């Protein structure tokens, strides 16, 4: 007759399930991941520059042009902050904010935000491709 | 005034006007004599397709669209009476945050508030405050059928 009570080990097995995960060649995987992360940290300044250049290109493509001053004013800089390398994407032309966000009487012509979003998207795709 | 949920701006208008805040919502540009407080919605600030699968060749495509919502408030009347609705910007953000916009064109997965900044509506303007709220909307991109 089967027992109506279960041992603690049996209960834990039911709760946790009997699934096990086997890491094949685990030390090699761990070393590879650590190498990749180390390389990523060391290259993060270069990565920030790459992203900045992409953002400038995308922003300039989208900037409204009459004289070209607004388009030329788009730039980026990379500096070391508290949380590592920081990218600042900006337009030094004073009226850029009115073009980007519009005014009460003039509709917006966004070019900085879509430029940055497109650059981040492109960069994410490049990273994903590199990881495959 | 009828509201339409055929566009993202229409869906945002539906959400905000149904809250009975006395807030009118316009698309892209407000009429010159619009009564404050009002909102202006700028769609398609940025539009990117999210990487999906190995080749992005799956049936469904998710896009991330940024939308700008400008809230204009008059602070005082010419006589000096206060007209500002305290906390209106907070209520608008609360209504839009994490909402599922009622749009029948494309399913909306979520709405996130990316940034908010306030300042005068134009240079030298001290009586009208403009608050810019940038939203990020994740939605399904599909054909209209």
Q: Which tens digits make up the pLDDT trace of A2-11?
A: 555 555 555 5
Smallest CA–CA distance, residue B104 to chain A, in Å, is 25
List of residues 6+ apart from A54 with CB closer than 8 A: A118, A119, A122, A123
Q: What is the CATH number of the domain that holds B128?
A: 3.30.2000.30
Q: Which tens digits make up the pLDDT trace of B11-21?
A: 899 899 988 89
Q: Are B88 and B21 in contact (CB under 8 A)?
A: yes
Residue A4 pLDDT? 52
Residue B38: domain span: 3-142
Q: How many domains does chain B have?
A: 1
**Structure tokens that stand for B12 in this block:** 């945002």
Q: Are B111 and B135 in contact (CB under 8 A)?
A: yes
Mutate to test the interface with A, among B31, B46, B68 (most CBs of A within 10 A): B46
| CA A128 – CA B11 distance, rounded (Å) | 34
For residue B38, which of B47, B46, B30 has the smallest C-alpha distance? B30
Q: Do B45 and A124 touch (CB under 8 A)?
A: no
Q: Is the pLDDT of residue B57 over 90?
A: no
| CA B27 – CA B3 distance, rounded (Å) | 12
Q: Which tens digits make up the pLDDT trace of B25-46?
A: 999 989 988 899 999 999 989 9
List of residues 6+ apart from A89 with CB closer than 8 A: A52, A55, A56, A59, A76, A112, A115, A116
Q: Do A114 and B72 touch (CB under 8 A)?
A: no
Q: Is the pLDDT of residue B76 over 80?
A: yes
Q: Is the pLDDT of residue B1 over 50?
A: no
Mean pLDDT score across all residues of chain B: 85
Smallest CA–CA distance, residue B95 to chain A, in Å, is 22
Query: Which stretches in chain A have pLDDT values below 70?
Result: 1-26, 40-42, 130-132
| CA B104 – CA B8 distance, rounded (Å) | 10
A-B contacts (CB, under 8 Å):
54
Residue A9 pLDDT? 56
Please state which of the ranges A1-10, A57-66, B49-58, B77-86 shows the lowest mean pLDDT: A1-10
Please state which of the ranges A38-42, B65-69, B89-93 shows the lowest mean pLDDT: A38-42
ipTM: 0.77
Q: Which tens digits make up the pLDDT trace of A88-98?
A: 999 999 999 99
| CA A40 – CA A36 distance, rounded (Å) | 6
Residue A63 pLDDT? 94
Chain A residue nearest residue B132, CA to CA:
A101
């Amino acid at each position: 007759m089967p027992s109506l009570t279960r041992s603690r080990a049996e209960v834990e097995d039911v709760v946790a399930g009997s699934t096990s995960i086997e890491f094949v060649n685990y030390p090699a995987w761990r070393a590879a991941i650590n190498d990749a992360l180390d390389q990523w940290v060391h290259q993060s300044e270069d990565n920030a520059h790459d992203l900045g250049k992409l953002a400038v290109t995308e922003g300039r493509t989208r900037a409204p042009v009459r004289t070209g001053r607004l388009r030329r004013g788009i730039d980026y800089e990379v500096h070391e902050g508290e949380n590592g390398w920081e990218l600042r994407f900006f337009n030094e032309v004073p009226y850029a904010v009115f073009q980007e966000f519009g005014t009460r009487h003039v509709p917006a012509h966004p070019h900085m935000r879509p430029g940055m979003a497109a650059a981040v998207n492109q960069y994410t795709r490049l990273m994903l491709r590199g990881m495959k | 005034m009828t509201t339409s949920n055929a566009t993202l701006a229409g869906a945002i208008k539906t959400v905000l006007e149904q809250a009975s805040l006395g807030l009118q919502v316009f698309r892209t540009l407000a009429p010159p004599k619009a009564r404050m407080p009002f909102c202006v919605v700028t769609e398609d600030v940025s539009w990117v397709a999210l990487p999906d699968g190995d080749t992005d060749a799956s049936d469904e495509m998710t896009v991330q669209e940024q939308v700008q919502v400008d809230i204009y408030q008059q602070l005082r009347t010419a006589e000096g009476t206060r007209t500002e609705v305290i906390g209106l910007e907070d209520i608008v953000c609360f209504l839009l945050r994490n909402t599922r916009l009622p749009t029948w064109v494309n399913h909306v997965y979520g709405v996130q508030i990316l940034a908010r900044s306030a300042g005068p509506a134009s240079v030298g303007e001290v009586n009208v405050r403009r608050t810019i709220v940038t939203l990020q909307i994740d939605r399904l991109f599909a054909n209209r059928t």
